[in-house]
Structures are given as structure tokens and as C-alpha cells.
Amino acid sequence: MNSGYLEDVKSEDSMWQGDCFVFDNRVAVDHDLEKSGYDQCHACRMPITEEDKTSDKYQRGVSCPRCYDKITIEQRARFTEQQRQIDLAKKRGGLYIGSQAERNTGIAKLEPKERSG
């Protein structure tokens, strides 16, 4: 059986400190493989904390303190519209189909800011 460190080693015997980044909607897990206190910025895909969410540079689904000054006006508009569609789908009790397609194709990933000059 192939299992991982966090599954094999008891938390009291573990040398692991902090949370483990995972590539699913949990973002990060603790030693018990439970979702930790992190969320993810949908623009830059970096983990964000509750403190990050209090920043004036945080806009759910659009930006976080790390990427606020790096995204273009076009990206900001696209991310804002995407978040509006996600909220609308949730309000209607459905799923936003684009979110899975974007994860599979990488469409929503932060693109480098174009150089001026």
C-alpha cells in the first residue's frame, strides 16, 4: 500500500510543521488531513488567509494582496465577471460550469502583465 507521511506518522511523533498545500478545493490540510484555514485567490492561485481577506486589495474571486498590482484592467474585468457568474449560479442552486473548464484549461490563471514601452 502506498500512503503518505501524514497518514503514516502520528501527529505527536511528526516533524511536520504547518499545513500542507494540496491541489484540490481544500487548498491546504493539517496533519489530520482536514481542511486548514487557507483559501485560494482565484486570480493568482496563491493560498490566502483570513487576514489577507481583510486587505483593501482583496476582492473575492478577483485579487489578493499578492496579485492586486500585477493584474491588468482586462484581467480584473474578466475575473469580476467570472465571480458574478459563480455567485449567480450559486444563488440559483446550480454550479458554475466555467470553473471546472477553466481549471482544466488554465484559462483563469494569472497572465504576465504586458510590458509598456
Q: What is the pLDDT of residues 62-87, one digit of tens each?
A: 999 999 999 999 999 999 999 999 88
Do 86 and 96 touch, CB atoms closer than 8 A?
A: yes
| Nearest of 38, 110, 117, 27 to residue 69 by alpha carbon | 110
Task: Name the CA radius of gyration of the chain, rounded.
Answer: 17
Query: Cα–Cα distance between 14 and 9 in angstroms, integer?
Result: 6
Q: Report which of 42, 5, 8, 36 is spatially closest to residue 22, judged by C-alpha positions.
A: 36
* Predicted local confidence at residue 67, as pLDDT: 95
Query: Can you tell me the distance from the alpha carbon of 108 to that of 99, in angstroms, rounded to the nearest whole number?
Result: 9
Note the pLDDT of residue 86.
87
User: pTM for the complete prediction?
Assistant: 0.59
Residues 6+ apart with CB under 8 A from 1: none
Q: Which residue has the higher pLDDT, 20 or 93?
A: 93
